[in-house]
Amino acid sequence: MSTKRGLGRGLGALLKTPEPEVPAGAQVLQIALDQIVPNPYQPRKKFSSDSIQELASSIEKNDLLQPILLRKSKDQYQIVSGERRFRAFVFLDRQAIPAILSEIDDQQMLVNALLENIQREDLNPLDEAKSYHQLAELFTYTHEELAKTLGKSRSHISNSMRLLRLPQEVMHYLESGILSTGGARALLGLKSKEDIILATSHVIVNGYNVRQIEQYVKAYYVSSEVSPSNPNHKFSIEQSDKYTQLFETNLDYKCKFKSNGKSLKLEIEFDDESQVDNFLQFVKKQ
């Protein structure tokens, strides 16, 4: 493994002590909640309200088992670890929270927040991807080096970080749970951000599962030279299916419209000559 490092201590060593060391005999203080602010390096911006309420209920019954860790920053205190506990106290409308003060620099604050995130089971897939990306940048690790250090597979790290290539609009659907992680990865198979946005709207409206999204993406480009975001693209797959359904509903023939993006081709299956004659007469009347 490479010995490249962005900090004095390697990531492997930090993983063994994910929370900054507290000096022996450190005093537990009661710090007013209105003097406390979140870790500015915390990549996780949203916390489940249900999990916060569950934690608040536990604290109300059993009290706080472990003080939060803070560092002094001018006239405020920044959270080093324990933001969920802090939010639970806010939910309970408490005035102060037990805390221990620690001296920690900005880089260690960032690393601690990232490690605390990736070790959570309910981590948002985008927050996880951002955490991996920041750790890789901070320690100048390749995906393989980061995977070995964290005990993950290289494909898991790479697939996770690929999500950061999604357009912002699609990231919103993934973050809110409207789009699954597997579905989002499948959509990354499209060629442009415009196509990904268009396809995302389609699969969400139609309630596609991951398998259906994979099939939709595979059939998205009828011609490799023509894409739905191309102004020369006149006929979409959806239009082909619509015309096929319309013809089969109004005519007693098996038919299929096929699109190459620039034009439509109609294929009709006749059982006998009488059906051909009937169809020709139908056409003449139109």
Per-residue pLDDT reduced to its tens digit, 125-146: 998 898 889 888 888 889 998 8
Q: Is the pTM of this model over 0.85?
A: no
User: Considering the domain boundaries, does residue 44 fall inside one?
Assistant: yes
In the predicted structure, residue 174 carries a pLDDT above the cut 50: yes
pLDDT given for residue 223 in this prediction: 40
Same domain, 204 and 271: no
pLDDT in tens, 200-237: 998 998 889 999 999 889 888 754 443 444 444 445 55
Same domain, 28 and 99: yes
Instruction: State percent of the chain over pLDDT 90.
Output: 37
User: Considering the domain boundaries, does residue 7 fall inside one?
Assistant: no
Pair 132, 159: CB distance under 8 Å: no
Confidence of residue 252 (pLDDT cuts 50, 70, 90): low
User: Considering the domain boundaries, does residue 123 fall inside one?
Assistant: no
pLDDT given for residue 135 in this prediction: 86
* End position of a domain, from candidates 56, 82, 103: 103
- Please report, for the domain that includes residue 54, its CATH number: 3.90.1530.10
**What is the number of structural domains in the chain?**
3
Please tell me which residue, 231 or 151, carries the higher pLDDT value: 151
User: Considering the domain boundaries, does residue 173 fall inside one?
Assistant: yes
Which of 90, 22, 15 minimizes the C-alpha distance to 56?
90
pLDDT in tens, 65-97: 889 999 998 889 999 888 889 999 999 999 999
In the predicted structure, residue 4 carries a pLDDT above the cut 60: no
Report the alpha-carbon distance of residue 189 to residue 214 in Å, rounded: 9
Report, as an integer, the average pLDDT of 238-266. 63
pLDDT given for residue 109 in this prediction: 82
Parent domain of 96: 21-103
Most confident of 2-6, 13-17, 129-133, 255-259: 129-133
